[in-house]
Amino acid sequence: MENKIYEQVPQEEPQRQFYYMEKAKGYVNALAEKLGRRPTFCVTTFGCQMNARDSEKLTGILETIGYEAAENEEADFVIYNTCTVRENANNKVWGRLGYLSTYKKHHPHMKIALCGCMMQEPEVIEKLRKSYRFVDLIFGTHNIYKFAELIVATFEQKGMVIDIWKDTDKIVEDLPVDRKYSFKSGVNIMFGCNNFCSYCIVPYVRGRERSRKPQDIIREIEHLVADGVVEIMLLGQNVNSYGKNLDTPVTFAELLQEVEKIEGLERIRFMTSHPKDLSDELIEVMGKSKKICKHLHLPLQSGSSRILKEMNRHYNKEQYLTLVDKIRKAVPDIALTTDIIVGFPGETEEDFLETMDVVKRVRYDSAFTFIYSKRTGTPAASIKEQVPEDVVKDRFDRLLKEVQADAAERAQALTGRTESVLVEEVNEQDNHLVTGRLSNNFIVHFPGTKDLVGKIINVKLKECKGFYFYGEIVE
Ligand code: SAH
Ligand code: SF4
Ligand code: F3S
């Protein structure tokens, strides 16, 4: 399809984008001639797995049109794929844009593009328009598939190219993707979020929930497996509500069973499960599956039923704990991980102690702890009683201590076992070692060579180092 010559601009996708990729190749080749070398690009990802997957799509297009990957941001085309889930994610982007502007002054032909969640905020666009005129291209989360078309616009148009959509019901399939890892891959199963947790900006910047058709997902995974992938991670903000709005509704548990059948695929992960939608059917499928990894990320957010209500999470402390019991009964070796927010507006010491209580009871294998960050436009942003900074800091430290102690204890209990491990890379600090991941998501370092990368092998966990292990291969 890529070499087809089009008479006029096709209206359908993805044909339209292949047309623009051909056109972009011409501009990139001309630039290469001028520079006397292939022009380079660097995509920097902020935020979650969803953004990481989007960056692989951007990279696929850039490589198709003739850019070469650069080691760092001293490149001819720099792209920031941004996140806005917490204020510090935004601050990082503003800070780094400062450096880029200095670099661009000495390299005027350089292009800078910004995309991702932060670009869906009108105030951000205002600020960029006013004070960051050196940025060449700005687009959002809904039209990322148009990257080739937008690149062509930057070659043909003077000034900033800005294209932001408020929402979309469109899913464009079959565009090029360049994976970061040859042996594992994220796979989007749905986009957007309908949950509107009161603190969270994601539904506003990622739009309404849209599920991909099961046959498109299966076809993508089959291609990935044919291309050497053994582990996939199914991605969505709330995978448990997958398929509800499809013309022929399908449950997430049903999708998993179809994915399980794909020959050659060894491991299945998924992210993220909202506790309110986690079905008994899913627990049963997890219990029976040979391929679904023994790991469940189940965000708690708070252990206080009162705060959970304020957060619009649709479950309470008891329901969460009951769910954990059910899962542990059905899948005894499962590792549980979570996300917790400290300092939600109005959180009292009692509320916080409820969170500590859940943490102590569940004993997570790992937990991401976040300080509440006020996001403009969300319902929680208008709650007046903010928790004083020093109180939040104190609670955060106490919580962190607890989750770290639990995680270390959980890991310690695995010492001496032999587990199957997917080897991911040669260890960065010591190249006699390779690093692999257990089904339960723990990491192990052990003596080995580069040829093991991408293979699943048995490793004995010899020594626990808190959050990771040292091990040795068992023949
Ligand atoms: N869809 C996923 C989470 C996506 S955001 C889910 O519902 O689990 C990842 C995590 O960021 C959330 O689980 C939450 O713990 C945290 N988070 C989201 N908004 C936040 C905010 N305003 N302040 C602090 N943490 C936040
Ligand atoms: Fe945000 Fe809640 Fe949606 Fe997760 S489920 S992305 S926390 S609104
Ligand atoms: Fe951030 Fe967007 Fe993900 S806000 S956490 S990159 S969905």
Token duo for residue 125: 């666009």
Is the distance from CB of 424 to CB of 436 less than 8 angstroms?
yes
Q: Does the CB atom of residue 188 touch ligand 1 within 6 A?
A: no
**Cα dihedral 177, 179, 184, 188 sign:** negative
**Distance in Å, CA 194 to ligand 2 centroid:** 8
pLDDT attached to residue 172: 93
**Distance in Å, CA 50 to ligand 3 centroid:** 7
**Cα dihedral 12, 18, 21, 26 sign:** negative
Is the distance from CB of 28 to CB of 39 less than 8 angstroms?
yes
pLDDT attached to residue 1: 43
pLDDT attached to residue 272: 95
pLDDT attached to residue 460: 98
In the chain, which stretches have pLDDT less than 70? 1-7
What residue owns the CA closest to ligand 1's atom 19? Answer: 200
The separation between CA 129 and the C-alpha centre of its own chain, rounded to angstroms, equals 28
pLDDT attached to residue 394: 98
Q: Closest ligand to 368 CA?
A: 1
What residue owns the CA closest to ligand 2's atom 1? Answer: 200
Spatial separation of the C-alpha atoms in residues 127 and 143, rounded to whole Å = 21
What residue owns the CA closest to ligand 2's atom 5? Answer: 195
SS3 224: helix
pLDDT attached to residue 8: 85
Q: Does the CB atom of residue 372 touch ligand 1 within 6 A?
A: yes
- Predicted confidence (pLDDT) per residue in 60-75, tens digit: 999 999 999 999 999 9
| Nearest in space to 288 (alpha carbons), one of 268, 315, 318 | 268
pLDDT attached to residue 6: 62
Spatial separation of the C-alpha atoms in residues 158 and 271, rounded to whole Å = 41
What residue owns the CA closest to ligand 2's atom 2? Answer: 197
Q: Does the CB atom of residue 202 touch ligand 2 within 6 A?
A: yes
Token duo for residue 81: 């794929």
What residue owns the CA closest to ligand 3's atom 3? Answer: 48
**Burial track 283-307 (b if 16+ CB lie within 10 A, e otherwise):** bebbeebebbbbbbbbbbbbbbbbb
Virtual CA dihedral for 316, 322, 324, 327, nearest 10 degrees? -140
Q: Does the CB atom of residue 378 touch ligand 2 within 6 A?
A: no
